[in-house]
Structure 1
Amino acid sequence: MNARQARLDALRSLREQETGSVYGWVLSTDVPPGLQQSLQSAAAQGLVELADREDRAELSAHEGRPVLWAARLSAQGHDVLTYLHASPDPTPHSTPCAAQEQMIELRPA
């Protein structure tokens, strides 16, 4: 799996966890460490928002224990997932070109 696909899978997983979250944040206890690293990478690209000190303090008060890490999708992250859901899957070209022909791919309008 390439890095792009891993990041998209992490965003999908975060969205699923986020819908069941009481406070709108997904806590570190709800995600495995590997997924947390992918989400950190997505946060660097602006697709995920990480809780700052004040948000973590508020979450800690609600949880009754220290919350060291929490994340939620940013507006851009929601847009990426919406676009992926709305766009058609690319279909591979299955017919090989003849010797005198050259494959030309056009972007959809």
Structure 2
Amino acid sequence: MARDFNELADRAKADWPDAARKVYTEASAGFAAELTERAELGSMLAAARKARSLTQPALSELTGIQQAEISRIERGTGNPTAATLLRLADALGQRVMLVPFNR
């Protein structure tokens, strides 16, 4: 009997064709990278907010973005739009940059 989810998943994946395992591995890596990027964005937002001695509610007042959404972004669980990021950056005296990356 499987002890945990990972063991159960590994047993299920053992029957997958190589192509399916490759797709799963690549998708998992992409998902993990996205979570890391969201966490980094959240940390940068929180640091910029704190450097301005602002609370989340104060930043919410400045931007019109709900405090709960600011919290989600700072925790890395939000998925902000470009407009949201631009409003936050403007209120914090920051700018948004697009940086190339390789996947």
Relative to the length of structure 1, the TM-score reads 0.27
Q: Which structure features the higher share of helix residues?
A: 2
Higher relative contact order (CA 8 A, sep 6+): 1
Relative to the length of structure 2, the TM-score reads 0.29
